[in-house]
């Protein structure tokens, strides 16, 4: 038998670092906002490290500033894995909304 792990994802992951802001509720029920960056991503979702620990299957909002637009992506937490003192969080995309950056200061 082949001992190599089988990749069971529909979309190939790419190593990519993008600055993001994560908003959600942690396991203790407290709201949080944390700045971090992605580790990898695909058409279906992204992975990143957090100091906070969100509940599995909860929703997070990921905000990305790009080309004078602020994108808010609603996501569903698929897994939370301890890595040293932080948590590796994998999320699946659920919806996106963009806001022109010029309207952010009005």
SS3 assignment, position 102: helix
Q: How many CA atoms lie within 13 A of 102 on its CB side?
A: 0
| CATH code, domain carrying 27 | 2.40.10.220
Domain membership flag for residue 7:
no
Question: Domain span at residue 74?
Answer: 15-101
Considering its fold, how many domains does the chain have in total? Answer: 1
Note the pLDDT of residue 6: 44
Note the pLDDT of residue 5: 44
Note the pLDDT of residue 9: 60
Domain membership flag for residue 37:
yes
pLDDT digits (tens, 9 = 90+) for 72-97: 999 999 999 999 999 999 999 998 77
pLDDT digits (tens, 9 = 90+) for 17-55: 999 999 999 999 999 999 999 999 998 999 999 999 998
């Amino acid at each position: 038998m082949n001992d190599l792990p089988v990749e069971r994802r529909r979309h190939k992951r790419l190593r990519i670092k993008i600055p993001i802001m994560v908003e959600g509720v942690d396991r203790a029920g407290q709201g949080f906002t944390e700045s971090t960056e992605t580790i990898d991503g695909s058409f279906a979702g992204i992975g990143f490290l957090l100091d906070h620990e969100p509940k599995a299957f909860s929703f997070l909002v990921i905000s990305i500033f790009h080309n004078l637009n602020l994108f808010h992506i609603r996501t569903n937490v698929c897994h939370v894995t301890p890595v040293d003192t932080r948590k590796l969080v994998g999320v699946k995309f659920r919806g996106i909304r963009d806001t022109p950056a010029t309207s952010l200061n009005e």
